[in-house]
Chains A and B, each alone.
Chain A
Amino acid sequence: MNAVKAWTDRNLKGDPVIWFIVFAFSIISILVVYSATGTLAYRRSSTPEAFLLKHSALIILGLVAVWVSHKIDYRYYSKLSRFALMASVPLLLYAFFFGDSINEASRWIRIPIINQSFQPSDLAKLALIANVAAMLSKRQQNIDDFKAALIPVLLWCGVICGLIALSNFSTAVLLFATCMLLMFIGRVPVKYLLMLVLIGALAGSLALALGTRGKTVISRIQNFISPTEVPYQAQQSYIAIATGGVIGKGAGHSAQRNRLPFAESDYIYAIVVEEYGLVGGVTVLFLYLALLYRGMIAVANSERAFGGLLSAGVTFALVIQAMVNIGVSVGLLPVTGQPLPMISMGGTSLLFTGLSIGIVLSVSKGEVEEVNMQVKSGNRSKISKAA
């Protein structure tokens, strides 16, 4: 036990509670995804064990991403994110024009050789949030100056959200809302934010008119506002929640996984409630809130505005997406196709979620001294003397 503790102390820096939450989510994810992929279609195409192995491998990849990114001093993310943001513009355009289409939306790039689908919007999302945090933190002294402080921020938000909206409207709206929240936290005056909503709405409708998903969005919203008939997915989701009861049907006993489209990603929360009941559902909600809370503590403890805003932006982006996914499952929000971060099956989503968590951890562990931390324990005394 002590050995484990010593190992974790040495290797897993930063907020231990966040580490705990990450591991908890990983275990839940493997359990529920394994069950959800036990549907007939998956059974027939290969063994569910193959999906279990693949998913577990991706979870581990996500954990590696957490570990690697939490090792990096968070201040580097300011620069790194700028490069990522630049890169994401051509990638998004490429995905829109040449990308693979899954479920009628063109948003995937297939990486040759390893043959893995890659969603550039995942990269763009993270890069934008880190950038907005960086830009806001630089301008904290003159945040009221619209021209100097806000124009560059808005420009980037508009460009990236607009590009994402071309092929994935709900992700774009979500990202824009997160950015707005981040600006609010970053002390941008509320009057500017109201103006932004207007601009966002304009850009949004423009993208809708030009993009591929216009019809889907309109019909989904209409369906939500004036429910003549509960849509099929929602119906099945409610049935999953209702039949789950307080303590659930037990792991692997979901019946609705056969009837819910995308039970392993969009409607994973319904499966959680069906198998683990209200108790399981509330636990997952609680874990997300705990993550948000620990992110907030990192904000409080960080010495620089950039660290605080970065941590806040990243955790809010994650948790808001989770809330939207859950909101759809329980019928508080119209049907959208957002995966549940850290739980849903899916390659790049898990990878970038891992990166996000790593960034929060990096902020939580504070600024690293200039001394090389990787030295062997024998040299410890020397360092302490030097310090």
Chain B
Amino acid sequence: MNIKKSILIRVRVAFLLVALFAVAVVVRMGNIQFVEGDKWKKLAEEIGFQYRTIKATRGNIYSDNGSLLATSLPFYKVAFDPMIADSEVFKKGIDSLSLLLSKTFPSTSARQFKQKITDARLSGKRYITLSREQIDYQQKKKMMDWPIFREGRHEGGVIFEKVDKRFRPFNDLAFRTVGFLNEDNYGAGLEYSFNDLLGGRDGEALYQKMAGGSWKPVFDQQEVKPEEGLDIETTLDVNLQDVAETALLRALEEHSAQHGAVVVMEVSTGAIKAISNLTRLENGSYGETYNYFVGGVREPGSTFKLVSMMALFEDTNLSLEDSIDTGTGEIKVYKESIRDHKPGGYGKITIQEAFEKSSNIAVAKLVMNQYGTQPKKFYEYIESLGLNRPIGFQMKGEGEPKVKTPDKWSGITLPWMAFGYEVETTPLQMLTLYNAVANEGRMMKPYIVSRAKRADKVIRDFKPEILKRQICSDATLEKLKIMLEGVVERGTADNINGTHYKIAGKTGTAQKLVNGKHVKKYYTSFVGYFPADNPRYSCMVLIDDPKGYRQYGSDVAAPVFKEIADKIYAKDIDMHAPLSPEYLVETGVFPTVKAGYYPDLNFLCNKLGISNHSKEDEVEWVRASVTNNAINWKYPSNAAGLVPDVQGMMLRDALYLLENKGLRVTYQGKGRVINQSLPPGSRIAKGGLIRIILG
């Protein structure tokens, strides 16, 4: 037989084998389809499959210094597969497990637990819920040491189902601003406005339904992993927020007002440092239910006079000393009359006085004279300041301002507009304008979210934005500033004068518009900035419908402004020069031993043979005073809640001492502390900042 023939025969044999296998495949397929067919089809229907979403972990919301405003904490539902544990483990552990369970979930007794689990095991159930109550991570960790449970998911059968819960470490602080999101993705505040960033992207995986109603992931190769949400960093300052909220609440309660709002903004950037909106609830207390500041549109009243004056100064050569006759306090325009606050009127006054005393007649007259024939110009001015359109704030729900175009104006529109009626804006817009005046004419766009981060990586950076580079000429700006300072010095808000820094601002008292008619209810506000010489913060306070005899912006809103400004000023060490050291460290022959930790210093001195004496032994922190050639240890008060004296200490000791008191410390220089920004013995504000200088 030749080689080729032999090869061919062998190839054919092999081919036959393969063909045979192919036949077997066809037979097998026929078998699956026709013999076992029904079984598989039934199985296909029985096995419930479902793509289920895997919730992405929501991002955190932080304040400007990294304090958590909102975060997601894991909670757990405890379920159990009673069939998994082997009988040895089960028998040994069931009693103590039931006892421990009943201690954690007191609504069910140990016997009931034992009964429930044993019954489920006997009837072959694969899944029972042990309690509807959710436990936190610490409890879960403890539970994982319990008998049976400690064998784990696959040996013991315990199932912890994770549920994320939103948690706010500061409770109600900035409640509305931080906001919320309900199940159908509707909500308010930052949670809602930044849901796209915070929410992340849910994943999906194929799950198979198990007896007992639980779902088991099928395989993990093709699942879509959830993408975690980003953290967002806000510009809110927790301390300022606390100050603002407290002051507002007190004022609202005092005046039984309907609602109120306050915002503190950083002048140079437009960053919102605090924002609070409180509404009177049915039961008479106050809570955050609506963001009036951003969403509320209303007639601004006298605070709008700034716009009129700005336009007048720009378009005329009017000076502050020019006079205007406001008459007897009432003038008629068509059928309506404009009145001034003071009965009998202000008579002939200067422009500056007119603004400081908030004369409606003066402003209306001036505006009518200038713009009566060319109303369009006045409108264009409002438009150029952006007051006729939303500013595009980061948070959803910004109100739509209403400024009529001149073709829809009636005879009284222009004069009324001059003092803040016939025009509706959001408080946020007014504050933005006043902030621009404080910021040398540069109008900054208010913002509240500065960054979106994933862990430490900044994904999106929201930089301060300029809305308008220069709102008016420097000369105009100068005049406006003088008038705004005058309001507090001798005008309508002179009741808040007398601070050792300067406040500039404007009061506003607008009659409320109810069903198109002005009623004897007021909407009071105060908007301004401080310190007026070098403005750091602008702030607006508005209080709606205060009761009682004092219902004007100066009486109601301005004091809140002052309270907030006072506290911020007191806290913000950048605004004032450091206090001169209360007392200097005694200089003697031992220049390096000044103050510190007693056991350390005592040990050192003894080793070096320096005589040193102390009246008590049980002291920690001491200060050296030299008598002849010996050291006397003095122990200054180290009472809780008071700033300790760290002068003369090394950085290590000073840091330990100050941070233990809850202060945040910044330092510069090397050596020993020579100066501390908070005087020793003063009261500590939690989270307050202290600067120490070493040298």
> Which positions in A face B, CB cutoff 8 Å?
39-42, 44-45, 103, 140, 181, 184-187, 232, 235, 238-239, 241-246, 255, 258-259, 261-262, 273, 278, 281-282, 285, 288-289, 292-293, 296, 299-300, 305, 308-309, 312, 316, 319-320, 323, 326-327, 330-332
Shortest beta-carbon distance from B578 to chain A in Å: 58
Known A-B contacts A300-B8, A323-B18; A246 and B40 likewise in contact (beta carbons under 8 Å): no
On whether the beta carbons of A282 and B26 are closer than 8 Å, the reply is yes
> Which positions in B face A, CB cutoff 8 Å?
3-4, 6-8, 10-12, 14-15, 18-19, 21-22, 24-26, 28-30, 32-33, 36-37, 39-41, 43-44, 49, 51, 204, 206, 218-219, 221-224
On whether the beta carbons of B10 and A184 are closer than 8 Å, the reply is yes
On whether the beta carbons of B43 and A185 are closer than 8 Å, the reply is no
Known A-B contacts A44-B224, A242-B32, A278-B30; A232 and B219 likewise in contact (beta carbons under 8 Å): yes
A-B pair number, CB within 8 angstroms: 125
Known A-B contacts A41-B224, A239-B44; A327 and B25 likewise in contact (beta carbons under 8 Å): yes
Residues of A within 8 A of B6 (CB): 187
Beyond contacts A238-B40, A239-B40: 6 other A-B pairs, Cβ-Cβ < 8 A, are A40-B51, A258-B49, A261-B222, A278-B29, A299-B8, A331-B32
Q: In the bound complex, what is the Cα–Cα distance between A312 and B30 (angstroms)?
A: 30
On whether the beta carbons of A40 and B15 are closer than 8 Å, the reply is no
On whether the beta carbons of A316 and B14 are closer than 8 Å, the reply is yes
On whether the beta carbons of A281 and B29 are closer than 8 Å, the reply is yes
Q: In the bound complex, what is the Cα–Cα distance between A5 and B41 (angstroms)?
A: 47
Shortest beta-carbon distance from A294 to chain B in Å: 11
On whether the beta carbons of A305 and B4 are closer than 8 Å, the reply is yes
Residues of B within 8 A of A319 (CB): 18
Of B14, B49, B204, B219, which one neighbours A185 at CB under 8 angstroms?
B14
On whether the beta carbons of A242 and B40 are closer than 8 Å, the reply is yes
A sample of 21 inter-chain contacts (CB < 8 A) reads A42-B222, A44-B204, A185-B7, A186-B7, A238-B36, A238-B40, A241-B29, A241-B33, A242-B33, A242-B36, A242-B44, A243-B41, A255-B44, A258-B51, A259-B206, A262-B221, A278-B26, A285-B25, A312-B14, A331-B28, A332-B24
On whether the beta carbons of A330 and B29 are closer than 8 Å, the reply is yes
On whether the beta carbons of B44 and A243 are closer than 8 Å, the reply is yes
> Main SS of the interface on chain B?
helix
Q: In the bound complex, what is the Cα–Cα distance between A238 and B40 (angstroms)?
A: 7
Q: In the bound complex, what is the Cα–Cα distance between A319 and B221 (angstroms)?
A: 28
On whether the beta carbons of B18 and A259 are closer than 8 Å, the reply is no
On whether the beta carbons of B25 and A323 are closer than 8 Å, the reply is yes
Of A41, A241, A242, which one neighbours B222 at CB under 8 angstroms?
A41
Q: What residue in chain B is nearest A320 (Cβ atoms)?
A: B18
Residues of A within 8 A of B15 (CB): 292-293, 296
Residues of B within 8 A of A293 (CB): 15
On whether the beta carbons of B223 and A41 are closer than 8 Å, the reply is yes
Known A-B contacts A281-B29, A327-B25, A332-B25; A292 and B37 likewise in contact (beta carbons under 8 Å): no
On whether the beta carbons of B7 and A299 are closer than 8 Å, the reply is yes
Q: In the bound complex, what is the Cα–Cα distance between A243 and B26 (angstroms)?
A: 16
Shortest beta-carbon distance from A100 to chain B in Å: 15
Q: What residue in chain B is nearest A302 (Cβ atoms)?
A: B4
Residues of B within 8 A of A235 (CB): 40, 43
On whether the beta carbons of B28 and A285 are closer than 8 Å, the reply is no
Residues of A within 8 A of B21 (CB): 323, 327, 332
On whether the beta carbons of A40 and B204 are closer than 8 Å, the reply is yes
Shortest beta-carbon distance from A105 to chain B in Å: 13
Residues of B within 8 A of A45 (CB): 224
On whether the beta carbons of A259 and B218 are closer than 8 Å, the reply is yes
**Residue among A281, A309, A330 with the highest chain B CB neighbour number at 10 A:** A330
Residues of A within 8 A of B8 (CB): 299-300, 308
Of B7, B26, B49, B221, which one neighbours A259 at CB under 8 angstroms?
B49
Known A-B contacts A239-B44, A261-B219; A330 and B28 likewise in contact (beta carbons under 8 Å): yes
Shortest beta-carbon distance from B427 to chain A in Å: 44
On whether the beta carbons of A258 and B4 are closer than 8 Å, the reply is no
Q: In the bound complex, what is the Cα–Cα distance between A75 and B221 (angstroms)?
A: 44
Residues of B within 8 A of A281 (CB): 26, 29
Residues of B within 8 A of A262 (CB): 221
Residues of B within 8 A of A273 (CB): 29
Q: What residue in chain A is nearest B9 (Cβ atoms)?
A: A185
Residues of A within 8 A of B29 (CB): 241, 273, 278, 281, 330
On whether the beta carbons of B204 and A289 are closer than 8 Å, the reply is no
Nearest 3 pairs between A and B by C-beta?
A242-B40, A41-B222, A185-B10
Q: In the bound complex, what is the Cα–Cα distance between A309 and B8 (angstroms)?
A: 10
Residues of B within 8 A of A243 (CB): 40-41, 44
Q: What residue in chain B is nearest A316 (Cβ atoms)?
A: B14
Residues of B within 8 A of A308 (CB): 4, 7-8, 11
Residues of B within 8 A of A330 (CB): 25, 28-29, 32
Q: In the bound complex, what is the Cα–Cα distance between A330 and B11 (angstroms)?
A: 26
